[in-house]
Amino acid sequence: MEEQAGKQKGKVAFCVNCSDEYFYSMNTDKLIKSAKYFHPDIPFFVYGSADMKELNVPLQIMMPFIMYKLIDDYEMVVRFDADSIITGSLDEMLNATDYDLICVRNNNDDNKAGKDEPIAQFNVHAENYVNAGLVATTSKAFLEEWMDINLSVGTMLPFVEQTTLNAIKRKYKTLIVDSKESDVYYGVSCLYGDGSENQTHWDCWKDINVVNGGLYLNSKKIKVLHNGGGFSPDKMQLYRFNERTRKRIVEIIEGQNLERSVATDAQP
């Protein structure tokens, strides 16, 4: 990748956009605190109501416009959905600097979207269909194309900017960081229901184990928890987790145990 004038070589920027009125109910504060826990040296840019109004584009297609504000100054820009919590070092994503685009799966290891049938489109198989809730890029050209297609047709499509992302990603050098073959989950790829009548996408969260400070499910390490599912009054509530996992999440968002050992990232 050619170094562009003004970029901070080797530097990464995190960002999120969330309306002021939903900042705490979406648990955006917890996302920011968790980022500072694992990556204290990476700046986190928060775009609130005034910033989004200034962009003058529909909220459903705003993601690349937010990222574009930073791409001239940083070699990699990572944008999170507001209802996410980082639970491990994001090394797999942050070290992928030779890729234009770093994405995460929308469907789980059983090729289902949580408890529901898988989502796919065009010639994108369910295993390669990505979720727009966490996207990283090193490419200004990618963001420009994503903005253009969003403005053209994004608001008319079933999953808006997620649909357009999947439509154009094959044109760029893309890494799906939590592929089926990987040993990590980065968000909704870990979600599945329990099969009962009242199942939810998040039933699996009660089965998460804590090993040496890391969160594990199905022998894979969870790097990001993403609630997803639109707005609800119980976003990222700790009742969804077992007691030990709740305690670890509280440690992360309260900034405890900052002097972590290498064992924190050890495999079970």
Q: Are 205 and 240 in contact (CB under 8 A)?
A: yes
Say how far apart CA 181 and CA 170 lie, in whole Å: 19
Instruction: Profile the chain (268 residues) by mean pLDDT over runs of 10 residues.
Output: 47 92 87 95 93 85 91 95 94 94 91 78 83 95 90 72 87 94 94 78 91 93 86 75 93 66 32
pLDDT, residue 220, reads 96
Q: Which two tokens stand for residue 248?
A: 């670890």
In angstroms, the Cα distances linking 106 to 93, 111, 144, 241 are 16, 9, 23, 21
Sequential DSSP letters for the chain: -PPPTT-EEEEEEEEEE--GGGTTTTTHHHHHHHHHHH-TTS-EEEE-HHHHHHHTS-GGG-HHHHHHTTTTTEEEEEEE-SSEEE-S--HHHHT-TT-SEEEEESS-TTS-BTTB----BTTB-GGG-EEEEEEEE--HHHHHHHHHHHHHHGGGSTTHHHHHHHHHGGGS-EEETT-TTSSEEESGGG----SSTT--TTGGGGG-EEETTEEEETTEEEEEEE--SS--TTTT-GGGS-HHHHHHHHHHHTT---S--GGGG---
Under a CB-based contact definition with an 8 Å cutoff, are residues 99 and 92 in contact? no
β-pairing verdict for 101-105 and 214-217: unpaired
Q: Which residues pair with 135 in a beta bridge?
A: 79
Is the distance from CB of 256 to CB of 79 less than 8 angstroms? no
The pLDDT score that the predictor gives to residue 108 is: 86
Question: Is 114 exposed, middle or buried, given 0-12, 13-18 or 19+ CB atoms closer than 10 A?
Answer: buried
**8-17 sheet: strands from edge to edge:** 44-47, 8-17, 74-80, 130-137, 101-105, 174-176
Q: What is the pLDDT of residue 149?
A: 82
Write the CA distances from 222 to 6, 74, 82, 168, 186, integer angstroms.
34, 26, 17, 27, 6
Neighbour tally for 200: CB within 10 Å: 16
Task: Give the integer Cα–Cα distance in Å for 268 and 263.
Answer: 10
